[in-house]
Structure 1
Amino acid sequence: MRYLKIILTAYLILYTNSVLADLADTVEKIKPAVVGIGVHTPSGRQQNSLNGSGFVIGNGRYVVTNFHVLPKELDENILQQMAVFTGSGKAAKVRTADIVASSQLHDIAVLKIHGAPLPAMQLANKEFSREGSYVAFTGFPIGAILGLYPVTHRGIIASITPTIIPVDNAQQISIKMLKMLRNPYLVYQLDATAYPGNSGSALYDVDSGDVIGIINKVFVQESKEAVITNPSGITYAIPVKYLLALLKKHKIDYLSANG
C-alpha cells in the first residue's frame, strides 16, 4: 500500500507539471487576444477607465464581453466613447468600438472594433465541457491603474448548475431573479476565484486554448447566491453555446483566422 501511494503521488506530480507546462504555452498563445473593456474620454482628466475584460474572436474585429461590463451611458458633451484596450503594459492602445449583438438574458455582448484586426481566440464547438475539466481564464481582475497587465487563473469546472437556486421566502426574490426564473439556463461553477474586473474574460481549455465560456463574476452570482449572507467567492461562467447562438442569430462569422 505504501509503494502504491508513492507511485500515485509521483504520477500526480508528473501530471500536474504537464498540465502547467501546457498552460504556459496556451497563455502565451492567447494573451494577444485578451483585451480590456471600458470608456475613453479624450478631454477628461482620466482619459481611460477600465470596466472589465474581453477577448477577440472571428476575423479579429469582434470582441466578446459581458453585457453588464458595457458603460450604461456615454457623455457626448465630453466626447466619451466605448473603448477596447489592446496591447500590454503602459503602451496599451485605445480602439473605439460599437455594439453589434447582445443578450441581457445570458449577459453577453459582442463589439466590433474600428481599425486593423487583432489576434483572435478560437471558440469550442461543443455545447458543454465535462465537469472536472482543467480550465483557465485571463483578464484584468484589479483594473489597469498601473497599465494593462493580463492575469491568469486556473482551476477546474466544479459543476454545471442552473442560474437560479430556490430562496427561503418571496421577499428574497428580486426583479432580476423573476426574469431569470422564466428562462433558467445552465452555467459553469468553477473552483478558481475571479474578481469583478475579470467579468467578460474568456474561460478556455488549458490544452487547446479554445474558449468554452465567459467569466461572469457579478450577474450570475447575484442570482445564485442571494440566500448567502456572506458572498462565497465562487466563480461562474456562461457556456460558449449561448455565445454561439447569439453569433449565429446576428450572422457574425466567429471562425478564427487562426483556427
Structure 2
Amino acid sequence: MKLTRRDWLALLAVAAPTLAQADLVAVIARAKPSVVIVGTFNPTDNPRFALKGTGFVAAEGNLVVTNAHVLTPQATARPGEPGTRQVVQVWRGPRQWEMREASVVRVDAARDLALLRVDGTPLPPMALADPASVNEGMSIAFIGFPIGGVLGYAPVTHRGIVSSITTVALPAARPSQLNEAAVRRLSEGPFEIYQLDAVAYPGNSGGPVFNADTGEVVGVISMVMVKGTRESALSSPTGLTYAIPVQFVRELLERR
C-alpha cells in the first residue's frame, strides 16, 4: 500500500513524542554524573552532612556552579579539623555518593551564583548552551534534590518550557555579600531571567536547567524568587520557578 503525504505526516506526529521522550532519557543519563549535592559536613552534628542545594559540574571538571545563597559562611574548617566544612556529594550510581571537599572560587551575589572548586578526580562537565539559542517555548528539564533529603538523595528530574524571558533585580542573599562588586551590579539595574512552567522546590536551588533535546545548560534554578516554607512549597506550590540565564554562568567562569 502506498502511503500518501497525509499518512506520513500522521505517522510522524505519532512518533515525534516517543522520539523526544527517548532523547530525554539519554540526556538525563548523561547529565546525572554531572549533578552534585552542595552542603556542609561537621563530624559533631547530627546528621553530620546537611544538604543545602544542588550544583553542576562545569569547565575542566573540577568546578561546580551553584547558587550563592546555598553557601554557608561559617564553613571555614579544613579537612581533618573540627568545625563545619563546605562539601559536595558526587553521584556514583543508585544510592552511591562520594563526599568531596569544596572551596569557594567566586560569588556573584547580585545574580545568586557561586563557583566552587572540588577536590579529587575531575568529573564530567555539562556543556553550556549559547545564550542566543534560548527562546520562550523551549523545552527544558532540570535535575535536583527537591525538599532537601526528605525524598532521599536521588536526582529528580522535572520537565517544562521556558514560559517567559523577563527582567528582575535580585537582592543579595545576605548583608555580608554586599561587597563593592555586588553593589555595582545592583546599581546597573534589572537583568533578564527565565520563568519556567515547571515547579521547583527547596533543594533544587543551584540545579542546572538544560535543553531537553541537547542536554546543554541554559540556566540555573534560583529559589530566591520563590517565597514560603518547605511546608507551603509542598501544600501550596506557586507554580513559578525562575532560572538565572547561562550568560551569567559563562561570565562567572571567565572571571575565575
TM-score range, shorter chain: 0.7 to 0.9
Distance 1:29 1:38 in 2: 23
Structure 2 unaligned regions, length at least 5: 1-6, 171-177, 179-184, 228-235
Q: In the comparison of the two structures, how many residue pairs are matched?
A: 226
Structure 1 pair 79/101, CA: closer, same or farther in 2 (3 Å)?
Answer: same
State the partner residue of 1:193: 199
1:123 aligned counterpart, secondary structure = coil
Per the TM alignment, residue 115 of structure 1 is displaced from its structure 2 partner at its CA by 1.2
Structure 1 pair 43/221, CA: closer, same or farther in 2 (3 Å)?
Answer: closer
Structure 1 pair 234/118, CA: closer, same or farther in 2 (3 Å)?
Answer: same
2:40 equivalent to 1:39? yes
Q: Is the 8 A contact 1:163 1:220 kept in 2?
A: no
Q: Is the 8 A contact 1:214 1:239 kept in 2?
A: yes
1:107 aligned to which of 100, 105, 112? 112
Alignment of 1:214-233 (within 5 A): 214-217=220-223, 219-221=224-226, 232-233=238-239
1:120 aligned to which of 114, 120, 125? 125
Distance 1:55 1:215 in 2: 11
Per the TM alignment, residue 216 of structure 1 is displaced from its structure 2 partner at its CA by 1.1
TM-score, normalised via structure 2 length: 0.79
- CA deviations 1:148-192 (Å, max 9, x no partner) are 210000111101011159xxxxxxxxx9xxx95752111111111
Structure 1 pair 127/246, CA: closer, same or farther in 2 (3 Å)?
Answer: farther
- The letter of the residue matching 1:25 is A
2:90 equivalent to 1:86? yes
Structure 1 unaligned regions, length at least 5: 1-5, 166-174, 223-229, 251-259
Q: Is the 8 A contact 1:132 1:156 kept in 2?
A: yes
TM-score, normalised via structure 1 length: 0.78
Distance 1:79 1:97 in 2: 14
State the partner residue of 1:22: 23
State the partner residue of 1:169: none
2:134 equivalent to 1:129? yes
1:110 aligned counterpart, secondary structure = strand
- The letter of the residue matching 2:251 is A
Structure 1 pair 125/17, CA: closer, same or farther in 2 (3 Å)?
Answer: same
Per the TM alignment, residue 249 of structure 1 is displaced from its structure 2 partner at its CA by 2.2
What is the percentage of aligned positions where both structures have the same residue? Answer: 38
